[in-house]
Structure 1
Amino acid sequence: MTSTATRDGARLAREPVPAPTQFIPPPKLRRRPALIAAAVTAICLGALLAGWAWTATSNTQEVLVARNGIERGSVIEDADLARVRLSADPALKPVSASEFDQVVGQRAALDIAEGSMLSPSSITSSLTPAAGSSVVGIALTPAQAPGLDLRYGDHVRVVVTPAEGDDLPSGVPTFNDAEVVGVHVSDETGQSVVDLLVPHADATVLATRVAAGNIALVLDSRDR
């Protein structure tokens, strides 16, 4: 028993004693201002983009646009319309897509180009010409027409002018009041053709004066 204890003591004496664990502090991280600024900028930019996306999405509305070109006076059919969601300026007063069924069956108050938004002024439930009215077409030379472009709804006067070589009549020249309901250029003559809405009783007289060619069109004030 004594010899065994002696051998164990000798073995323990030969085994090295482990050194105490030394605490090594973590390395100090170097701050890089450029990286910090870039990270802050990226965060701010992401927030701005998210806000813009939310605003753009929340301001969109579903409106009606013309799938095909619609001529003035034509009956609007469901195939002529499309529902489109877009960001539209409220000042344009676009027709909401929820009014689809109400718009179908009405007439185009003016020429509606393909892809354009519908507005309340572009549709009408009335037929032109209405009862008691007539439409007279007038082909005008540049000397007979005003310099300004004529628009749908303009109020004009068709003034009778003297024939070439005749004296000016005394008193107030004869004229007819009318409203412009259409303007286009003739493919054959290149002249401007203006469709005028007049009372039914004046249509025959005006057509006779137009046929004589001695007329001029006067544009009255657009201030209503």
Structure 2
Amino acid sequence: MPLLTKIKKKADDSAAAGPEQPAIPTAAATTPIRQRRRPAFIALGVALIIVCALGAFWLVDRLSTTTQVVVAAADVPEGQRLTAEDLTVTDVTVPSGVATIPGSDLDTLVGQRSVGQLEKGTLLAPSDVSTDPFPAAGTAVVGVRVSAGQIPTNDVDPGDPIQIVGTPREGDDPPTGDAPVITGTVQAISAPSTDGVVVVDVLVSSDQSATLAALSATGRISVVLVPEEE
């Protein structure tokens, strides 16, 4: 082929191919950074998971474990002989160290006496009941008749400490000396009669029982509610 023809053909081929495009640079492939594993952190995480799981299991076990125990079904004054109506059983979670009476022992408690004042709903402990006679040696229970005005209108309940104070006859001058005072504890209170008279059973020491009985017979007494000794 003649040289001129070759040159013309090459020029025609270049024009047909269009302008030469610049090369597009490509991003170099990045090598991923390999993270170092720390065995100590992994072991700590596993340990925390185990501790949390054990704690949850212990809590669920404590909340779901209950014991049937004896509780007071009514308010019971000190020294009262217990009846089946005074007691019941319930399922509770008993904290460690708290003394209770198993529900299976309920029948054995009927006929025993309360050692102290029992409030309704109280969990009974073995020390709350006794087969010992009541009143105990050195004490006595005296029934005292009182009318309205001789006893506080506020609630006077079994277990409350009181004083029985001798008062003069109506219309007499106040006594010049100290009035006789008997200290005791309310054991029981009867329902008011039709004329408003109630009988208060008072636990006193044996050496004061005769004096209290004599004061009660005169009808010239007043019941004073006093604070409990700390």
Question: TM (normalized to structure 2)?
Answer: 0.56
The aligned counterpart of 1:182 is 188
- What fraction of aligned residue pairs are identical, expressed as a percent? 29
The aligned counterpart of 2:172 is 166
Residue among 132, 135, 158 paired with 1:129: 135
The separation in 1 between residues aligned to 2:76 and 2:161, in whole angstroms, is 24
Aligned letter for 1:87? V
The aligned counterpart of 1:218 is 224
The aligned counterpart of 2:113 is 107
- Is the aligned partner of 1:95 residue 2:103? no
How many residues are paired up? 169
Aligned letter for 1:97? P
Residue among 135, 148, 171 paired with 1:142: 148
Residue among 203, 208, 221 paired with 1:197: 203
CA gap of 1:82–1:215, structure 2 versus 1, over 3 A, is closer
The aligned counterpart of 2:81 is 74
SS at match of 2:190: strand
Aligned letter for 2:114? A
Deviation at 1:122, TM superposition (A): 5.0
Aligned letter for 2:154? L
CA gap of 1:83–1:111, structure 2 versus 1, over 3 A, is closer
The separation in 1 between residues aligned to 2:164 and 2:69, in whole angstroms, is 40
Structure of higher CA gyration radius? 2
Deviation at 1:215, TM superposition (A): 0.5
SS at match of 1:204: helix
SS at match of 1:185: coil
Structure 2 residues without counterparts, runs of 5 or longer: 1-58
Is the contact between residue 82 and residue 109 of structure 2 (CA under 8 Å) also seen in structure 1? Answer: no
Cα RMSD over matched residues? 3.9
Deviation at 1:223, TM superposition (A): 4.1
Is the contact between residue 95 and residue 117 of structure 1 (CA under 8 Å) also seen in structure 2? Answer: no
CA gap of 1:126–1:55, structure 2 versus 1, over 3 A, is same
Deviation at 1:55, TM superposition (A): 6.5
Aligned letter for 1:184? S
SS at match of 2:137: coil
